[in-house]
Amino acid sequence: MMKHKYLFLFFIVNNAFFAQKILENDSLKKYSFLDLKVKFDEYYHRDKTRESKLIAKYFLQKAKTERNQSQIAEGYMLMQFDAGFTDALKYIDSVGIYSKSLDKKIYPAKIYLLRGNLYFKFDYLKQALDSYILALKYAKENKNERQIAFTELNIAFLQNYIGKYKEAAKTFRHYLYNGKSLYSIERSQIQQNLVDAYIVLNELDSAKALIQEGIQFSLKSKDKYNYYKYLSQQGYYNVKTKNYTKAVSDLQLCKKYFSTDSSDLNTNYTLFVLGKAYVGLHEKDKAVQNFIKIDSNIQKSNNTFPELREVYTYLIDYYKEKNDKEKQLYYIDRFLKVDKKLDEQFQYLSTELPKKYDTPTLLQEKEDIINDLKNRKTILYASIGILLLILFLILYLYYKAKKTAKEQRKIAQELIHSIEKRNSESTTDIKKEIPELSQTPEHAETENIITKTVPEEVTLFILNELETFENKQLFLKNGITLASLAKNIKTNTSYLSETINNHKGKNFTSYLNDLRIDYVLERLVTDKKFRSYKLPAIAEEIGYNNVQAFAAAFKKKTGTTPSIYIKEIETQQ
């Protein structure tokens, strides 16, 4: 596949806007370094050489005036893009000098990438590959995703050169759809190179879809340059599908647009495809005109590509038919020179690409796969271990819950049996028949030292009132407090609290809860209708504000829950 306009090292931070055209009297003083970079990038990638050279020269001058080391390095980088090979190489060396104290995550990979692009541009493909391999090494060491992407993309162009179109297409496709660090202008160039790869591989439907997408986007964004690049690729697509007339129509427009710069690779691309279209139409003279123009451009730029063999063999055969010995001999000589260069490059790339890039990449992929499988196994084993722990925990909690439930059922059964026994003996004192319910360690909340500060006659009075409080079941009223009860029996809270502690063996809260729970224990056994109530209704019936307080008091006194207690009653009756 012919070398298209290849990727360089892009440097803009945000390409969401495009620079305005620089007029002859336009002052650059008002622009920042970033603005100048954006303007340069726009002009350079639109082949506006005069404007891009002007910006690069001013950028370097501004950086030197301000003694800005990092921007001086950037300035030399801009200068090398439009320079001849020798000067460009010197500019890149200057970038290296000024970048020694700069960000090591960017350098020296950037220097090698610049060198590789320069060698690529001037058709020194051996040196380009060696530079790219070093750039890739440093980019990977510094984990610089953009530099890795640019290097691998340029290596993909070299893979195209030796016919590894599938491998190249794989790289282009990966970065087109997964290159998160790339900007839209960069994706557009990747897309164009992927189109070329698809055409060569005869994946024409995929090529057509990308071409149409590119044309529509270019028209929408008024991007004239990229519109004609996609239009030239549409011409190539039409040649492959033998729609030669349509191809000629598109390519003539592209030829007119690109012909202003004979060094532009798009010019030779268009001339080559247009020549093939005329071959398809059997218009040999017109095909030859385009192929001759390619030869003329090649002699100026010395930039070769594998399809030149097809160009020169066609010219040789054409002049052989015309019996023009001189031109036939001339193009044989041109063919031999170009073919020798192509062979040397092909032989080197065919040997070194697999050794320096393909094999290490495959080994790295193999290592990544092995590590991935190991990680998956580790994650799998860890997941299984966690699941087993969770399972054991669930089983333990289940076993514990079953054991607790069994114990609580036993307690409930004993309580029910005690109440039924008491009822059968017609006893009125529930506390005598339910051993230790009122005197369990849980209720041992009284003060260790029993004080006697309440007068004896007051104590007797309070005890008498408490008996009435219990017999009339006044404890079932909601909102009873120590203060409210003291007020009702006409005493103070201190006397009441001390009397309950000394004579009931518990504090007021436990005293009130025990009365209510003793009451509910018996009533649940004897009153089927009451037993059918929901727990919130039962709680409210015996003076609790909510079911949670009721359940907590019930569990604290009995050691079981209201639900289990009710269920056991239903089971036994």
Distance CA 165, CA 1 (A): 8
The confidence score (pLDDT) of residue 550 equals 92
What does R_g of the chain's alpha carbons equal in angstroms? Answer: 47
pLDDT at 463 over 90: yes
CA 485, 491, 494, 497 dihedral sign is: negative
- What 3-state DSSP class applies to 250? helix
Q: Could you read off the pLDDT of 188-236 as tens digits, one per residue?
A: 888 998 998 999 899 999 999 999 999 999 999 888 888 999 999 999 9
**Using 50, 70 and 90 to split pLDDT, how confident is the model at 415?**
confident
**Using 50, 70 and 90 to split pLDDT, how confident is the model at 369?**
low
The domain of 140 spans 1-163
Judge whether 17 lies within some domain.
yes
CA distance from start to end of the chain: 94
The confidence score (pLDDT) of residue 433 equals 41
The confidence score (pLDDT) of residue 83 equals 87
Q: Could you read off the pLDDT of 310-345 as tens digits, one per residue?
A: 898 999 999 999 999 999 999 898 888 888 887 887
Residues 42/16, Cβ–Cβ less than 8 Å: no
The gap from C-alpha 317 to its chain's centroid, in whole angstroms, comes to 57
Is the pTM value of this prediction over 0.85?
no
Judge whether 205 lies within some domain.
no
Taking alpha carbons only, the member of 262, 280, 282, 284 closest to residue 271 is: 262
Rounded to the nearest 10 degrees, how much is the dihedral formed by the CA atoms of 224, 230, 233, 238?
-100
**Using 50, 70 and 90 to split pLDDT, how confident is the model at 17?**
very low
Q: Could you read off the pLDDT of 76-108 as tens digits, one per residue?
A: 989 988 888 899 999 998 988 888 777 777 888
- CA angle at 556 for the pair 552 and 558, rounded to the nearest 5°: 115
Q: b/e per residue, 409-422, with b = 16+ CB within 10 A?
A: bebbbbbbebbbeb
pLDDT at 349 over 60: yes
The confidence score (pLDDT) of residue 6 equals 45
**Using 50, 70 and 90 to split pLDDT, how confident is the model at 357?**
low
**What is the percent of the chain with per-residue pLDDT over 70, rounded to a whole number?**
85
The confidence score (pLDDT) of residue 14 equals 35
The confidence score (pLDDT) of residue 122 equals 83
**Using 50, 70 and 90 to split pLDDT, how confident is the model at 440?**
very low
pLDDT at 524 over 50: yes
Judge whether 34 lies within some domain.
yes
Q: Which residue has the higher pLDDT, 423 or 203?
A: 203
Residues 246/207, Cβ–Cβ less than 8 Å: no
Domains held by the chain: number: 1
- Mean per-residue pLDDT, 336-357: 74
The confidence score (pLDDT) of residue 282 equals 95
Q: How far is CA 539 from CA 341, 353, 405, 520, 568, in A?
A: 99, 84, 22, 9, 19
Q: Which amino acid is at 407?
A: E
For every residue of 336-380, DSSP letters joined together read: HHHHHHHHHHHHHHHHHHIIIIIHHHHHHHHHHHHHHHHHHHHHH
Judge whether 45 lies within some domain.
yes
Judge whether 66 lies within some domain.
yes
The confidence score (pLDDT) of residue 430 equals 41
pLDDT at 429 over 90: no
- Mean per-residue pLDDT, 468-474: 92
pLDDT at 435 over 60: no
- Mean per-residue pLDDT, 31-52: 82
What's the mean per-residue pLDDT of the chain? 83
- Mean per-residue pLDDT, 241-257: 93
Q: Which of 26-30, 54-58, 346-350 comes out lowest in average pLDDT?
A: 346-350
Judge whether 5 lies within some domain.
yes
Q: For the domain that residue 24 is a member of, what is the CATH number? A: 1.25.40.10
Judge whether 235 lies within some domain.
no
**Using 50, 70 and 90 to split pLDDT, how confident is the model at 125?**
confident
The confidence score (pLDDT) of residue 426 equals 54
pLDDT at 437 over 50: no
- CA angle at 24 for the pair 21 and 25, rounded to the nearest 5°: 105
The confidence score (pLDDT) of residue 228 equals 92
Judge whether 518 lies within some domain.
no
